[in-house]
Amino acid sequence: MKKGWGLTVYAVLFVAFVYGPVLILPLFSFNDNTFATFPLTGFTTRHYVDMLGQRQMIASLMNSLRIGLAVTVLATAIAIPAAISITRYRFPGKPAVLSMLMLPLVVPSIVLAVALLVIILRFLGLPLSLWTVAAGHVLVALPFCVSVLISRLEGFDQSLEEASRDLGCSPMQTFRRVTLPLAMPGVISSLLLGFIISFDEFVIAFFLTGTENTLPVYLYSQLRFPNKLPGTLALGSVILVVSTVLVITAEVIRKRGVQTDNPGDY
């Protein structure tokens, strides 16, 4: 059909606009030059090799990995019962509770950050550390984990769980034998997305971290030094690749789950 050529061109331009600036980072990270300028002067992997020698960077990377792992496991573990409650149980005030769970999505992260900062330092008198960062990250990851799991749980018929009870399984056995296996694609995407959110988060980490850095905080501190630009570009590119791989994995698992579970004639 002839219609819609304009829109197709627009879509291509749109993708170019969204991806273009971001792809500049890996492009210049392989350029043999201290400045991110055209024309490109030559191909090098030097900046990546240099990165491996940066002790601080490696330390912040390890911190981010540790926090990300802890955050995502915790957030998903909290989100699973919450999503089951919202999709499977009737109780008063459910819409209000659901909006409250989604609140961290709309509150500007600087407000979340300073609010947590005030209560931690002034009211609880706790020292800032990677733990306080992780706490803040659980808060921002939770709405995403809950949403992913809710849409997964809504995706299969509740009568499957009723059938399991009818066939002699207790609620716990039903969870283990029916709900969990069927929700597994959602659980995995929740784990991956929770990890990415924590791994990429900057504002809360910046305010709540103590003496140790997370990777984005380290990256931010490097942005001030023009002579460190190539290393920053290389580090940024690595982060981009890692998140992209995780997102694709999460999305593919989620989509595949949806396809295979809706068989038959309806």
Partner 1 sequence: MSEPLIRIEGVTKRFGAFQALHGIDIDIGRGEFFSLLGASGCGKTTLLRILAGIEEPSTGRLLIDGQDMVGVPPERRPTNMVFQSYAIFPHLNVEENIGYGLKNLKLSKADMQTRIGNAIEMVKLNGLDKRNAHALSGGQRQRVALARALVMQPKVLLLDEPLSALDKKLREEMQLELRAMQRTLGITFVFVTHDQEEAMTLSDRIAMMSGGRIMQLDTPKALYENPANREVAEFIGTMNLFPAKVTAAKDAVLSLDGGLLGPMAAPAAKGVAMGDMVQVAVRPERVSIEKPGPAGINRIAGRVKEAVYLGDRINYVLAAQGLDRPILATSANTSGEIYPLGTEVMATWDTEGARVLTS
Partner 2 sequence: MSDDTKTNRRGLFARGGLFADRARRREALTGIGLLSPALVVMISMLALPVGALVIMSFWTQNGFNLDTSFTLDNYRRLFARSDRVTEWMGMTFHLAYPVPAILMIKSLAMSLMATVAVVLLAYPMAYFLAFRVTRYKAAWIIMLTIPFWTSYLLRVFSWKVVLGYNGAINSGLMSLGLIDKPLEFLLYNPAAVVITLSHAWVSFVVLPIFVSLEKIDRSMLEAAADLGDSRSRRFRRIILPLSMPGTISAALMVFIPTVGDYVTPQLVGGNGGTMIGSLVQLLFTKQNNAPLGAAISLVMMGIIAVLVLIFLTLIGYWKMRARRAS
Q: How far apart are the C-alpha atoms of 163 and 169, rounded to whole Å?
A: 9
Q: Min. distance of Cβ 46 from partner 2 in angstroms?
A: 18
- Long-range CB pairs of 251-257 (<8 Å, 24+ gap) are 251/189, 253/185, 253/188, 253/189, 253/192, 254/148, 254/152, 254/185, 254/186, 254/189, 256/185, 257/152, 257/155, 257/184, 257/185, 257/186
Binds 165: which of partner 1, partner 2, none (CB < 5-8 Å by kind): partner 1
What is the token pair recorded at 71? Answer: 């955050």
Check binding of 166 to partner 2 (CB under 8 A). no
From 29-37, 48-56, 65-73, 178-186, give the range in contact with partner 2 by CB under 8 A: 29-37
Check binding of 108 to partner 1 (CB under 8 A). no
Residues 114-173 that bind partner 1 (CB under 8 A): 156-157, 159-160, 162-170, 173
Q: Min. distance of Cβ 84 from partner 1 in angstroms?
A: 16
Classify residue 89 as left (phi > 0), alpha (psi -120 to 50) or beta: beta
Q: Min. distance of Cβ 88 from partner 1 in angstroms?
A: 12
Binds 211: which of partner 2, partner 1, none (CB < 5-8 Å by kind): none
Q: Min. distance of Cβ 182 from partner 1 in angstroms?
A: 6
Check binding of 37 to partner 2 (CB under 8 A). yes
What is the token pair recorded at 227? Answer: 């002579």
DSSP class of residue 31 equals B
H runs (alpha helix) in 155-265: 159-166, 171-174, 180-200, 203-208, 215-223, 229-260
Is residue 66 within 8 A of residue 261, CB to CB? The reply is no
Q: How far apart are the C-alpha atoms of 232 and 168, rounded to whole Å?
A: 58
Encoded one letter per residue, x for contact with partner 2 by CB under 8 A and - for no contact, window 85-124 reads xx-xxxxx-x--x--xx-xxxxxxxxxx-xxxxxx--xx-
From 48-56, 65-73, 179-187, 233-241, give the range in contact with partner 2 by CB under 8 A: 233-241
Check binding of 8 to partner 2 (CB under 8 A). yes
Binds 234: which of partner 1, partner 2, none (CB < 5-8 Å by kind): none
Residues 187-216 that bind partner 2 (CB under 8 A): 193, 196, 200, 202-203, 207, 216
What is the token pair recorded at 35? Answer: 């400045």
Residues 162-191 that bind partner 1 (CB under 8 A): 162-170, 173, 177-178, 181-182
The residues that touch partner 1, with contacts defined as CB under 8 A, are 156-157, 159-160, 162-170, 173, 177-178, 181-182, 260-261, 263-266
